[in-house]
Amino acid sequence: MRILVATAVPVERDAVARAFTGPAQAVDVLAVGVGPALAAAGTATALTRAALEGSGYGLVVSAGIGGGFLPHAPVGSLVVADEITAADLGAETAEGFVPVTGLGFGTVTHRPPVALVRAATAATGARAGAVLTVSTVTGTAARASALRERHPTALAEAMEGFGVAEAAGIHGVPVLEIRAVSNPVGPRDRAAWRIGDALAALTEGFGKLTPVLESWEHHDD
């Protein structure tokens, strides 16, 4: 089974690629861009190209670093999404935020295969929970609190997972999301960011995850 790992930027791509040190494996790691729109476009392009070449992917993994909701996902920890949710796709109203599904159309959540999430967390020691996709990174305690209130199982936020999942869904390919926490969700304190530690955790996590990805088959779920 061929696997596509989609990251936002090259430094994340390289961190994931360092985990694949053995013989050539059926894993392609691509930096598809920052934000849900570019991530969706880049992932869809890669999936379409592979399908046209007759060597389609059996799994797509959105991977990278992200913010963690404290105390549930501390800096340096690894999170595996059991749901991938677009947290700010909808409308702000006088009564509060309404997701696009509440407006009568679209989707806001993709759910990775349950057995794959279970196997991934067991192999890596990661926490399982919702990973939120946002177009605007959270920079205040008030917004962090509001997101957590709307999504009580949320462990992390990033900017690409939902876009990657949308592209995978259109192609009928299952999706997984993995995030290494580089900073707390909330006020932007660059001095507290640990990007190097998060990238190292991402490499280590994929080193442990590789046997799971290679052995998993879609029919397992």
Q: pLDDT for 10-22, tens place per residue? A: 999 999 999 987 6
- Percent of the chain beyond pLDDT 90? 80
Q: Cα 92 from chain centroid?
A: 25
Beta-strand pair 96-99/154-158: unpaired
Tell me the two tokens of residue 32: 């598809």
Q: Is 5 helix (H, G, I), strand (E, B) or coil?
A: strand
pTM of this prediction exceeds 0.75: yes
Assign residue 90 a region (left: φ > 0; alpha: ψ between -120 and 50; beta: otherwise): left
**What is the Cα–Cα distance from 104 to 106, expressed in whole angstroms?**
7
Phi, psi (degrees; rounded to nearest 5) at 53 = -85, -5
Tell me the two tokens of residue 149: 């209130």
